[in-house]
Amino acid sequence: MSHISPVLWQFLQHWLSNFPLWPPEASTIAPQMDALIFFMILVSLIGLTIVILFIVGFSVLYRKQRHPVAVQIEGSTLLEATWTIIPLGLFLVMFVWGSLIYFRVYTPPANAMNIYVVGKQWMWKAEHPGGQHEINALHIPVGRPIQLTLISQDVFHSFSIPAFRVKREAIPGRYTSVWFQATKPGTYHLFCTQYCGTNHSAMIGQIVAMTPDDYKKWLDESNSGNSLAQNGERLFASLSCNACHSGRADARGPSLANVFGSTLTLTTGEKVNVDEAYLRQAILSPSEHVTQGYVPIMPTYQGQISEDGVFALIEYIKSLNSNYRVEQTLTTTDLLPESEGKAAPATAEKGAVKQ
């Protein structure tokens, strides 16, 4: 190689050794995803080689000098069956293998830690259950399944972490989710991979995977004083949701304790599972599905609560399943005189934020 200029040679060497063909593998799913991709590349390369060999071989064997007159071939069932069945088998392997990975990526384990993410032009905002929030960054512990609940505040975005081999659309008006488990501490790229306007290319950030100890430290340092559920509790009172959802027997709205994760029957007879997406719908457009046994008197809150606010309300409603203190707060309205229980915002707030 001495005839290449030494500067150019050095440059080439440097470039080749620093040019990663694929991102680091930093999640549990990454090696599985890569194995499938390698299999597909391998099959394609073998196919390509076979085709090229035949093209070159036949061009030489049947060139004009050796075969001046073309021979008509009427076809061969055996040959056609072979080149149909072998590729079909290979594609079916890819299909089944791919679906298995697909279902694994989109079915979060029950013990996954949930983090909420809002995408908007042009940034990502993450809300941790503990109330920590961050912009264009996401801190997570390694070795723990993390589920993201995503939504967009304006147009379509897509939340992509190449090192984890996951990506999911953030859609206006609807929750989507994705999960992953980081395996190596480090800082990885976060991209928006859906063209979303002028500054789309700047809609990037950092995923910081930390050891559990470092993560705990980070949580403590970034504490904003209130957990997401506590913010939700405040909002619940200030929007006077508790005027109807007081948990009392004579309340105009159903008790929201233990509603998350349950199955509700609607006036239409339809049964629905109460998950985050259902709660969001129930709050923003209550008339779309009315719970059996109740009249549709709940006002719509569309346009009055930000997506972050909805996250907080959902965390609060979830916390009603397990948090005794919060349940107490709800039922303290029991102790108030009748007029105060179903009162205007100011009074209602006093009732709920007390203690």
Kindly list the residues in this chain that would bind Cu ion in the complex (CB under 5 A). Answer: 157, 192, 196, 203
Using CB under 6 A, which of the segments 95-103, 134-142, 179-187, 238-246 binds ligand HEC?
238-246
- If one asks whether residue 283 binds ligand HEC (CB under 6 A), the answer comes out as yes
Distances (CA, A) of 167 to 161, 193, 204, 251, 342: 6, 8, 13, 43, 45
CB of 282 to ligand HEC, least distance (A): 4
- Binding partner of 290, given ligand HEC, Cu ion, none, CB within 5-8 angstroms per partner class: ligand HEC
Residue type, 2: S
Choices 96-104, 121-129, 168-176, 291-299 (CB under 6 A): range interacting with ligand HEC: 291-299
Which single residue is written with the structure tokens 């007879």?
Answer: 269
Q: Which is nearer to ligand HEC, 138 or 257 (CB)?
A: 257
Closest distance to ligand HEC from the beta carbon of 263 (Å): 11
140 binds, among ligand HEC, Cu ion, none (CB under 5 to 8 A by kind): none
Name which of ligand HEC, Cu ion, none residue 296 binds, using a CB cut-off of 5 to 8 Å depending on partner kind.
ligand HEC
DSSP-based three-state secondary structure for 118: strand
Which one, 111 or 198, has the nearer CB to Cu ion? 198
The entry of ligand HEC, Cu ion, none that residue 196 binds, CB within 5 to 8 Å by partner kind = Cu ion
Nearer to ligand HEC, 207 or 317 (CB): 317
Output 223-228 pairs: Cβ under 8 A, ≥24 positions apart: 223/130, 223/131, 223/132, 224/131, 224/132, 224/133, 225/131, 226/131, 227/129, 227/130, 227/131, 227/315, 228/116, 228/127, 228/128, 228/129, 228/130, 228/131, 228/311, 228/312, 228/315, 228/316
How many alpha carbons fall within 13 Å on the CB side of residue 293?
Answer: 8
Angstrom distance (rounded) from CA 298 to CA 244: 8
Please report whether residue 259 would count as binding ligand HEC according to CB under 6 A: yes
**Smallest distance, Å, CB 267 to ligand HEC?**
8
Beta strand 186-192 with 157-161 is antiparallel
Return d(Cα 139, Cα 66) in angstroms, integer: 69
| Residues 6 or more apart whose Cβ sits within 8 Å of residue 218 | 139, 210
- In whole angstroms, the minimum distance from the beta carbon of 347 to ligand HEC comes to 13
- With CB under 6 A as the rule, give the number of residues binding ligand HEC: 26
Q: Which is nearer to ligand HEC, 211 or 300 (CB)?
A: 300
Rounded CA gap, 204 and 133, in Å? Answer: 16
State which residue, 29 or 203, has the beta carbon closest to Cu ion.
203
What are the residues binding ligand HEC (CB under 6 A)? Answer: 236, 239-241, 243-245, 252-254, 256, 259, 264, 279, 282-283, 286, 290-291, 294, 296-298, 301, 313, 317
